[in-house]
Amino acid sequence: MAAATFPLVEIRSVANAQNEWVALLLRAAEGGLDDATLQAMFGAPDLLAAVAPLDCIVLLDSPAVLTPPVLKLLPPNRVVLAVSAQALAGEGAARRLAELQVDGYRVLLDGPLPDGVQRPVALRGVSRKIGADYASLAPASLPALFGPHLARGVDSLDCLRACENAGFGWFSGTYALDAPDDASRDAGRQDDGTTRRRLMTMLALLARDADSRELEAQLKQDPGLSYHLLKLVNSAAFSVGTQITSFGQAISRIGRRQLQRWLQLLLYARQHPDGPSNLLLPVAARRAALLEALCKRDGGDRDEQDLAFMTGVFSLLDRLFHTPMATLVRDLNLPDEVEAALLAGDGQLGQRLRLCEAPGPDSAMLEAAGVDSPSWWQAQLHAYHWAIQVARNV
């Protein structure tokens, strides 16, 4: 398929009950996935390599698109087939899906069954778009033996809890944006706001080009922050080729530019070693990497790429701190274009930030932001790859 006509594909993260990303959900942003689109997506090694070790869940209208050339590109150990349950009304569809399951594919029936059609005994995996209907979910209504079942459109914590109680084990939706921070999740523990306030102080110091000794003094005051920073610096995802063992080394060898980026990400790190992962961390990392990739595609220099990255990371600070964005922006003294993007969605950065925030941007949104579908696809792969690595190392 020519690059100019590359399909517009929507990618959504899928997490388990421990807030860990386990898969990416792929669906057509406009229309349905056909065999040509699937070959374009999986025909090159970029997709499965970029999202490793996560699985891909492919949302399909019918098993008919799973032609032999397509199946050659879909390894059963990496691809989950979520097929519309309405397809069971077609002759031979149930048998075909059962055969795919025998071949090693995990098959989920998506949505309600057609009128008068019983669920085939062999096909017990469930995918369902929940949305506002979560109150009708019956507790323990899904058999755990045939899971994990996928809940789509999980857009609030109340919906998440109802889905968990019903027996779903995988969740996709915007519920991360409804999540409280660690302190409010566990009021019995000591307030964890100190670390994040210190991070904000360090970011302000970096913004005004403060002396490295001031930065090191802040780091030494917080053992948890120091641990997270050294772990991140030495992780496989960000390795600089030399083991970093001190704050001074971290500051001098990795450079202030990288230090600033990692401190931005550490705002979203889990605040207690035994606590759950912060749902906002991979979302912020994805936005940052996506905006940076689009800026780089346009020929933006290193400083412009840094501003794009910063815009993506900081776009969730109001939800992290439960504080108006205007207050946070004022305290950080951000560049004008970043401030305009965060506060009003203005400028090219603001326009592209809206792309990152949209559940599934359409062709009109991409055109308005000056982004074509092949560039959007490649930027998404880069962003998800980076976010996956960040989430596994922070």
Going from the C-alpha of 199 to that of each of 126, 265, 358, the distances in angstroms are 42, 10, 28
The angle formed by the CA atoms of residues 294, 295 and 299, to the nearest 5 degrees, is 115
Walk me through the domains of the chain, giving residue ranges and CATH numbers.
3-178 (3.20.20.450), 182-266 (no CATH), 280-393 (no CATH)
Of 189, 331, 214, nearest to 267 by C-alpha is 331
- What secondary structure does DSSP assign to 258-280, as a single string? HHHHHHHHHTTS-SSTTSPPPTH
Task: Return d(Cα 303, Cα 126) in angstroms, integer.
Answer: 47
Specify the DSSP element, H or E, that contains 80: strand 79-84
Task: Return d(Cα 268, Cα 277) in angstroms, integer.
Answer: 9
71 contacts 116 by C-beta, under 8 angstroms: no
pTM value?
Answer: 0.87
Dihedral sign, Cα of residue 311, residue 316, residue 322, residue 324: positive
Task: Return d(Cα 97, Cα 81) in angstroms, integer.
Answer: 9
Encode the chain (394 residues) as per-residue pLDDT tens digits: 444 467 888 999 999 999 899 999 999 887 789 999 999 899 877 799 999 999 999 999 999 999 999 999 999 999 999 999 999 999 999 999 999 999 999 999 999 999 999 999 889 999 999 988 899 999 999 987 788 999 999 999 999 999 999 999 999 999 999 856 443 344 334 445 677 777 788 887 777 777 777 877 877 777 777 777 777 777 655 555 677 777 777 777 667 787 788 888 888 876 555 566 788 999 999 999 999 999 999 999 999 999 999 999 999 989 988 889 998 888 777 889 999 999 999 999 999 999 999 877 888 889 888 899 889 999 999 999 999 988 887 7
The set of residues, in sequence order, having a beta carbon less than 8 Å from that of 252 and lying 6+ positions away, is: 212
